[in-house]
Chains A and B, each alone.
Chain A
Amino acid sequence: MDTTEPPEIFRRQLVDLLPRLRRFARNLTRRPEDADDVVQIALERALRHFDQWSSERRLDAWMFRIVRNVWIDELRSRRRRDRLFAAEEAGEDVGEAPLEALTENLSIQAALACLPEEQRSAVMLVLVEGLSYKEAAEVLEVPVGTLTSRLARGREALQSLLQPNREPGP
């Protein structure tokens, strides 16, 4: 197979994206160790298929999509091994360290972590990463209408977790 080397500029742009890719992967997987594995596999995949990226597209959006697909593949194979939730929950009860004075940022991250993945990713891509609806819909491989409804539901859920004292409207 003819393997054309990715150009240096492509690699440099990938390196620049690493902090954002890790952040996205953390919120996707909810575990930092998995996140770096996902990012590493995604990088290798991107380098192998760099010719499928066209420069009219945002590289970050293209990479977010690969990162997410890597994670979906991994979840499927874990589910096949029937170890998904055993592994996940083994990690959850490590060292009870409740924070008496909960800080805002931890609570917003904790709240986001409770949302279903599809809403969590929609929120991350649009509200944190600043992608347009169209770009975010492409990353998630759904129609724009689906993206906006996930985004709306994710927002509502966050609002209800973070601003619960407000009475509901009439």
Chain B
Amino acid sequence: MSVTDEALMAYVDGEADPATREAVEAAMRADPDVARRVAEQRELRARLRAAFTADLAEPVPSRLTDAVLAGARPRSESRPGAAAFGAARTARSVRRAPLVAWGIPAALAASLALGVGLGLLLSRQRTPWVAGDAHGLVAEGPLERALSASLGGEHGAPIGIGVSFRGKDGRYCRSFRIAMPSPAAGLACRDADAWRIALWTRSAAAASASGEEPGADYRPAASEWPPELLAAIEARADGEPLDRKAEEAARAQGWRAAR
């Protein structure tokens, strides 16, 4: 008996109608694989909630509570559009550390709350393609090597490199797709010493395109790439994608940002 992904997801999220609920529960009894998928979805949900719980304990800056309460004070001048992005931005240093400022304390706090058992269980779950650091994900292993060494359109299974281009900040970015262990596509941009994953997606387009036979010699048409990936490329790219000669030159330079 098979259960659609939609039915399973609705069941886990408490959105299934009674008939679907019964069907999923019957399938779980009959098929250990269905039961396993439900358990995985539940676990993901629990992990997400746990990961973001610590954020709620953080003190709220007074400028935000003030923004709510300011107008309520009798006869006080309401603060004039205090929250103007532009003003805040120029006053602030441009160099900031995303994720670090909140990710680490939240992570530490929540991991203490989670206990050791889950930590041990999860420490084995590492993807072969990416590793996390304080700022997000960076490519590693075969993906890192493919991004550094392959030219666009080369399809060394199970990784395919798509287009390469120079971003508006001068850094090189390359699109890629992965066939295993599950199809995905993404965009990586070269930092000083790592390929930073700027986007990771598993859309239908990524799945069908990377489901090709490994080693099949093909250069995917733009339309086969997931739309969100194309949008990200368009938003970042400064000019046209690199041609083969420009790719070779960039590779020879170690993909170092051109300023």
Shortest C-beta distance, A4 to chain B (Å), equals 11
- B132, A99: Cβ atoms under 8 Å? yes
A59 interface contact, C-beta 8 A: no
A1 interface contact, C-beta 8 A: no
Smallest CB gap from B36: residue in A: A166
Q: Which residues on the A side are within 8 Å of B100 (C-beta)?
A: 94-95, 97
Question: With A43-B68, A116-B201, A165-B124 in contact, do A105 and B111 touch (Cβ < 8 Å)?
Answer: yes
Which of these binds chain A: B20-28, B79-87, B146-154, B239-247? B79-87
**Beta-carbon contacts of A125-139 to B below 8 Å, as 1s and 0s?**
011100011000000
Shortest C-beta distance, B90 to chain A (Å), equals 11
A89 interface contact, C-beta 8 A: yes
Q: Which residues on the A side are within 8 Å of B221 (C-beta)?
A: none
Give the dominant DSSP class at A's interface.
helix
Q: Which residues on the B side are within 8 Å of A97 (C-beta)?
A: 100, 133-134
- A36, B64: Cβ atoms under 8 Å? yes
A160 interface contact, C-beta 8 A: yes
A30 to B189, CA, bound (A): 17
- B132, A89: Cβ atoms under 8 Å? no
A107 to B169, CA, bound (A): 27
A104 to B135, CA, bound (A): 14
A44 to B70, CA, bound (A): 10
A126 to B98, CA, bound (A): 24
- B196, A109: Cβ atoms under 8 Å? no
A169 to B66, CA, bound (A): 53
A136 to B26, CA, bound (A): 29
- A5, B13: Cβ atoms under 8 Å? no
The A/B interface has a contact count, at CB < 8 Å, of: 268
Q: Which residues on the A side are within 8 Å of B110 (C-beta)?
A: 105
B5 interface contact, C-beta 8 A: yes
- B64, A106: Cβ atoms under 8 Å? no
- B159-191: which residues lie under 8 A (CB-CB) from chain A? 167-169, 171, 180-182, 184, 186, 189, 191
Q: Which residues on the B side are within 8 Å of A40 (C-beta)?
A: 63-64, 67, 82-83
Which of these binds chain A: B52-60, B212-220, B248-256? B52-60
A119 to B56, CA, bound (A): 22
- B5, A152: Cβ atoms under 8 Å? yes
Q: Which residues on the A side are within 8 Å of B104 (C-beta)?
A: 99, 106
B145 interface contact, C-beta 8 A: no
Q: Which residues on the B side are within 8 Å of A98 (C-beta)?
A: 131, 133-134, 138
Question: With A40-B67, A109-B107, A164-B125 in contact, do A157 and B184 touch (Cβ < 8 Å)?
Answer: yes
- B15, A133: Cβ atoms under 8 Å? yes
B136 interface contact, C-beta 8 A: yes
Q: Which residues on the A side are within 8 Å of B97 (C-beta)?
A: 91, 94-95
Smallest CB gap from B56: residue in A: A19
- A157, B40: Cβ atoms under 8 Å? no
Shortest C-beta distance, B53 to chain A (Å), equals 9
B156 interface contact, C-beta 8 A: no
Smallest CB gap from A87: residue in B: B94
B51 interface contact, C-beta 8 A: yes
A151 to B197, CA, bound (A): 21
Shortest C-beta distance, B37 to chain A (Å), equals 9
Could you write out 11 A-B pairs with CB less than 8 Å apart? A34-B85, A97-B134, A98-B134, A102-B132, A105-B114, A109-B52, A115-B199, A133-B13, A160-B184, A164-B125, A165-B124
Closest 4 CB pairs of A and B: A40-B83, A164-B127, A105-B107, A98-B133
